[in-house]
Structure 1
Amino acid sequence: MESRRVGSETGGRTVRIGGPVSSRHSAFLLPDRGEPPESYDAVCARLHNSGLRTVVLGSIDDLTPAAAAPLLDELSLPWVTLVGYRAGAELAWRTAAANSGRFVSLVAIDRPHPAALAAGHTDADRRTDPDCRPVEMPTTLIVGSGAGAAATRTGRYVYAEFRLVRLNGRTDLLRTASHELATEIVLRSSAW
């Protein structure tokens, strides 16, 4: 995969780009905090074999939902599948809610919608971001062990087709379920 520097409102960012150059389908991956972009190589290799181009952001530090669209513009990617893992998924939910016409679909891994109640809590003040708007695009939430009730409640914050995928018995999905993650991303990226 090729590394490039692209600009943004918070300064330059490193992205890793790979996959077929001629592909009309791309996935924009937002990593967990502190996760090196190389951690996504197994998932990206599977996505490349399926004909998808991938862009893995080097770090989500200081990235805002408003800054994602200019990054995609600079990379000449008009419409992408937005994919986030853990903290990157929290950012992906907010980015999708703020830029609904910019993304084909959303795949969130190990994080429910920020407005969904935290697992095991019933009071509204335990929401991670009660003001996060619902997303209006086809969405898949992939969760491992211990997902809790927030994962189930997430569907009410998706105003489009919603799919909840439970990978019971798995905790570190990036390392233990790369083929399942790639499959779900390909399914969401296709215009069936």
Structure 2
Amino acid sequence: MESRTVTTPAGPTQVRIGGPDSRHTVLLLPDAGETADVFDTVCERLHNSDLRTVVPETIDGLDGSGVFALLDELKLPWVHLAGSGAGAELAWSVAAGRFGRFVSLVVADRGHPAVAGPDGRIRDASAPAAEVPTTIVIGNPDRRAEADASMRYVTGEFRVVELAGVGNVPAQAPAEFASAIALRTGSW
């Protein structure tokens, strides 16, 4: 994979770009404290599905304006968006209420910010709906109610995929996570 530095409002951000030249690009956002390595197997599978991938080395310091700056600098007007943990929260925040920049959203173990998590906390009660087809992949059954409740905050087609006993979806279930992303890139 090619390594490239892009400029964001928070400063330079290192990204990995890989896969075939394709009309479909997937932006993958890792959890806080994780590096892009968590998506290595996921990216390999996506590349085999004729998808291009962009992965920041870390999301530390990256916010919504940084995601848009990254996409602008890479000249990516439309992307499929995927994230895990804090990367999923960032994905929700940039996809919510912004029709037209993202083709689909796939998140691991995080529901919409306006829905209470397993601890009963709501991250952002005023978060708008995501206007894209969305899949939530959950490895922890405690997140099922959060995932199901997120449906009312998605205006596109909505799916929940439950994987029992998976602590880190991209690392421990890369085939399933990549499949959920690849299915969202198809027109079926």
- Please indicate the TM-score interval, normalised by the length of the shorter structure: over 0.9
Residue pair 1:66, 1:98 contacting (<8 A) in 2 also:
no
Could you list the per-position Cα deviations for residues 88-125 of structure 1 after superposition, in whole angstroms to 9, with x for gaps in the alignment? Answer: 0001000001432100010011111111112263xxxx
Mapped to 1, the partners of 2:2 and 2:119 lie a distance apart of 42
User: Which amino acid counterpart does residue 131 of structure 1 have in structure 2?
Assistant: S
| Structure 2 residue aligned with 1:26 | 25
The whole-number CA distance in structure 2 between the counterparts of 1:172 and 1:66 is: 27
Aligned 8 A contact 2:134 2:157 in 1: yes
Once the two structures are superposed, residues 56-90 of structure 1 have per-residue CA deviations (whole angstroms, 9 ceiling, x without a partner) of: 01121222212222211211211110101110000
- Output the amino acid matched with 2:163: L
Structure 1: tracts of 5 or more residues without a match = none
Matched, 1:143 2:138: yes
State the identity as a percent.
50
CA gap 1:12/1:157 in 2 versus in 1, 3 angstroms? same
Letter in 1 for 2:176: E
The SS at the match of 2:11 is: coil
Q: Which runs of 4+ in 1 moved over 6 A?
A: none
Output one character per residue of 1:32-58: Cα deviation in whole Å (capped at 9) or x when no partner.
011111221100000000000000011
> How many residues were matched structurally?
187
TM superposition shift of 1:169 = 2.2
Q: Tell whether the 8 Å contact from 1:114 to 1:132 is kept in structure 2 after alignment.
A: yes
- In structure 1, what is the equivalent of residue 108 of structure 2? 109
Q: Which of 46-55 and 175-184 deviates more?
A: 175-184
Distance change in 2, residues 1:41/1:120 (3 Å): closer
In the other structure, the counterpart of 2:17 is 17
1:41 match: 40
Paired residue for 1:127? 122
Distance in 1 (alpha carbons) for counterparts of 2:178 and 2:86: 19
1:190 to 2:179 alignment: no
Counterpart position of 2:150: 154
Which AA in structure 1 matches 2:101?
A: R
- SS in structure 2 of the partner of residue 93 of structure 1: helix
Q: Secondary structure at the residue paired with 2:8? A: coil
- The range that moved more, 97-106 or 158-167, is 97-106
SS of 1:46's partner is: helix
Superposition deviation, residue 10 in structure 1: 1.1
Partner SS, residue 100 of structure 1: coil
AA aligned to 1:71 is L
1:78 is aligned to 77
Normalised TM-score (structure 1) = 0.93
Amino acid in the other structure paired with 1:19: G
1:174 aligns with 2:170: yes
| Structure 2 length-normalised TM | 0.95
